[in-house]
Amino acid sequence: MIAVLETTKWDWECQPNHTYLLDGDKIVAYIPKGESTPKYFKGVLHINKRGRTFRELKVSPFKTQPSDKKIIKVQGSKGNTYEIDPVEKSCTCPGFMYRSKCKHIEEYLK
């Protein structure tokens, strides 16, 4: 994972550049411009880098996730593998990303 500062020159003033924690083309967290507290996402969000510029930060402003965090891998009905975080009660499946709930978590918490 890398921390990057967006350096895009926008044609309008309503789009601020934020600081992002990226895992490939996935956004794990971001820090809004003018703030210092990271906001972590429950699900997977993809970032479209086309037309945008970023600068990698040498020192990350993001706290690292605890290494003893228990992640459970489950298989979806179509064969995809998803990760459940029982502490956060989150899942990486598309259903959780859109509805903040899914059958994977409901089945796990039974």
φ, ψ of residue 38 to 5 degrees: the values are: -70, 150
Residues 85 and 41 grouped into a single domain: no
Residues 6 and 52 grouped into a single domain: yes
Is 16 among the domain residues?
yes
- From residue 109, how far is each of 80, 90, 98 by CA, in Å? 20, 11, 20
pLDDT value, residue 52:
92
Structural domain span for residue 52: 2-56
Task: Please state whether the predicted TM-score (pTM) of the whole model is above 0.75.
Answer: no
pLDDT value, residue 3:
92
For residue 90, pLDDT beyond 80: yes
Residues 38 and 79 grouped into a single domain: no
Is 37 among the domain residues?
yes
pLDDT tens digits, 26-66: 898 899 998 988 888 877 788 888 889 999 999 888 875 54
Residues 11 and 49 grouped into a single domain: yes
Q: What's the number of domains the chain is made of?
A: 2
Residues 8 and 52 grouped into a single domain: yes
